[in-house]
Amino acid sequence: IVGGCDAKANSWPWQVALRKKLWIGSSLDSSHCAGVLIDRSWVLTAEHCLKESKEKYRLYLGMHVDNRRDASVQEADVSAMYLEPSGNDIALIHIDPPAQIGSTIDVACLPSTVPLPQPGTSCFITGWGDTKGTEYNHVLKQAEVPLVSHKTCNSATYLQNSVSRNQFCAGYSQGGTDTCGGDSGGPLVCEDEGRYVLYGITSWGKGCGLPNKPGVYTRVSAFMQWIQSVMDNHS
Ligand code: 4AZ
């Protein structure tokens, strides 16, 4: 996360670290991507985070300082991976063991309606990714970014028609606050009737925090049927 600030410990209890195993038996895994807990046994992430076989990944729930095993941390393996069949940048991970839900680990609410909040609405991004700064204290960061209309984001000075209807953009026109490398697969949540709702999965961008180059997020509401059918049909 570029800009923003350190999160209060465990204030985004659905935030999951998705790390690549360095070697079997190693206690340290390398930073890779993030995910979002949406059910005791299910984590949403970006499809581009899952290029290797499921044995290569490990998930950490309830983490605050990156790669530190605090008492709140639960580890899980990947028991199955489901990539969105049309190649959209969203995927589901079935985790083993399932999460034990509590004050430091909890699921994100999924959107019930397809439309996003209005452009300009302020939403939150979180992650352990690149800060583009000298600071690197490995604490989960959060930042507030406004939603950008599809029309503006696809304009010539922004991202030039590279954003599909299954994606949306968020960021300030002046830049300075954004997701960045390592934040992919993590959440963009917007407050909706007093609770946070998961509207986006961090996907890609042109650089990080540049003016007129907002971050691009996979639109979770476009995949509710797919998510439901994967969860229903998994045995
Ligand atoms: C990345 O490489 C990445 N500024 C994620 C988000 C953005 C850029 C890069 C958006 O994971």
Choosing from 31, 130, 145, 183 the residue with most ligand 1 atoms within 8 A of its CB, the one to mutate for a pocket test is: 183
> Measured in angstroms, how far is the CA atom of residue 235 from the centroid of ligand 1?
33
Looking at residue 76, its pLDDT comes to: 97
Residue 10 in contact with residue 64, Cβ under 8 Å?
yes
Beta strands in 22-176, from DSSP E residues, in sequence order = 29-39, 42-45, 57-61, 74-83, 91-96, 122-127, 141-148, 167-170
Residue 180 in contact with residue 1, Cβ under 8 Å?
yes
> Measured in angstroms, how far is the CA atom of residue 62 from the centroid of ligand 1?
23
Looking at residue 176, its pLDDT comes to: 97
Looking at residue 104, its pLDDT comes to: 97
Side chain identity, residue 1:
I
CB of 200 shorter than 6 A to ligand 1 = no
Whether the model clears a pTM of 0.90, i.e. scores above it, the answer is yes
Looking at residue 21, its pLDDT comes to: 87
Map tokens 């909040």 to a residue: 117
| CA-nearest residue, atom 1 of ligand 1 | 181
Residue 45's φ and ψ, nearest 5 degrees, are: -150, -170
> Measured in angstroms, how far is the CA atom of residue 60 from the centroid of ligand 1?
21
- Distance between CA atoms of residues 185 and 34, nearest Å: 5
Looking at residue 53, its pLDDT comes to: 95
Mean pLDDT (10-residue bins), the chain, 235 residues: 96 96 68 94 98 95 93 97 98 98 97 89 97 81 98 98 98 98 97 95 98 98 97 91
Looking at residue 134, its pLDDT comes to: 65
Q: Report the complex ipTM.
A: 0.96
- Distance between CA atoms of residues 205 and 147, nearest Å: 14
CB of 89 shorter than 6 A to ligand 1 = no
For residue 151, what are its two tokens? 């029309």
Residue 148 in contact with residue 214, Cβ under 8 Å?
yes
CB of 93 shorter than 6 A to ligand 1 = no
Q: What is the DSSP letter of 65?
A: B
